[in-house]
Amino acid sequence: MPELPEVETVRRGLLPVMEGQEIAHAEARRPDLRWPLPENMGARLTGATVTQLRRRSKYILADLSTGETLIIHLGMSGRMLISGVRIGEFHHEHPAPEKHDHVILDMAGGARVTFNDARRFGAMDLTPTAKVEAHWLLVALGPEPLGNAFDESYLIDRLRAKNTPIKTALLDQRIVSGLGNIYVCEVLHRAGISPKRKACDLSVKRVASLVPIIRQVLSEAIEAGGSSLRDYRQTDGELGYFQHTFRVYDREGQPCTTAGCNGTIGRIVQSGRSSFYCAQCQR
């Protein structure tokens, strides 16, 4: 599933063709994705101007001139594809709708934004903009890891009584939003912390050290266009490249990249997810 860097990359790709632009025509080509689509979604979107395109955790939020916000979640395989405009050196013409093109937004500026989702684990909903933070998908989310509300004092306070492995705690969207399996593995390796360590057993200093590392890893991943594993693509169809700099994720049996470490990367399963780490330098 796309994590924060992938979703932020998609948002940035959509900005030039959506923000400040009117949706000339919107078409929902099926009644549901993971859940039913909003009633009369096509009609409610048609004629609306996207006043702001922002991100909350792993969700893209399109604030509309109608006073509603379109919430978009990519799910496992969802892609937002742009056609009809020049992106970089390439001009993408409007292709004929394909089987898995479920929502099509024709923008007044000539661009077409297509939501394609082969597995249909993605989701869209419309909710009043003034109440969007209270929407059931967003209301329990913790602070943004790149925002001012996420700092050392906050994380120390939230983890001091967490009797769960630090890997599990950082994946808890109520503690910090947007982090997923890939980037938590990478963060813990850079911090030298074993994913098996109980969050409450970590010293204040070690917990505090996680904050700048989380920000660094996410920022590097966004700069690289995210990590392309299986279905993820950017809005122009290109791959992200951060996976080429993975230090531990999906590197089971390979040498640890930490300077002076002779260990190898191992894999364990925690809460049904693979954790990749070096048992020699992560304690």
Which amino acids are annotated catalytic? 2-3, 58, 273
Alpha helices in 57-148 (DSSP H): none
Give the type of residue at 233.
R
Tell me how far apart the alpha carbons of residues 37 and 52 are, in angstroms, rounded to a whole number: 21
Query: Position of tokens 């001139």?
Result: 65
User: What distance in Å separates the CA atoms of residue 166 and residue 192, rounded to the nearest whole number?
Assistant: 12
Q: How far apart are CA 7 and CA 146, in angstroms?
A: 14
Tokens describing residue 98: 């394909």
Q: List the structure tokens of 237.
A: 């169809």
- Both tokens of 194, joined, read 């074993």
Cα–Cα distance, 136 to 93 (Å, whole number): 37
DSSP of 139-208: TT----TTSTT--HHHHHHHHTT--SBHHHHHH-TTTSSS--HHHHHHHHHHHT--TTSBGGGS-HHHHH
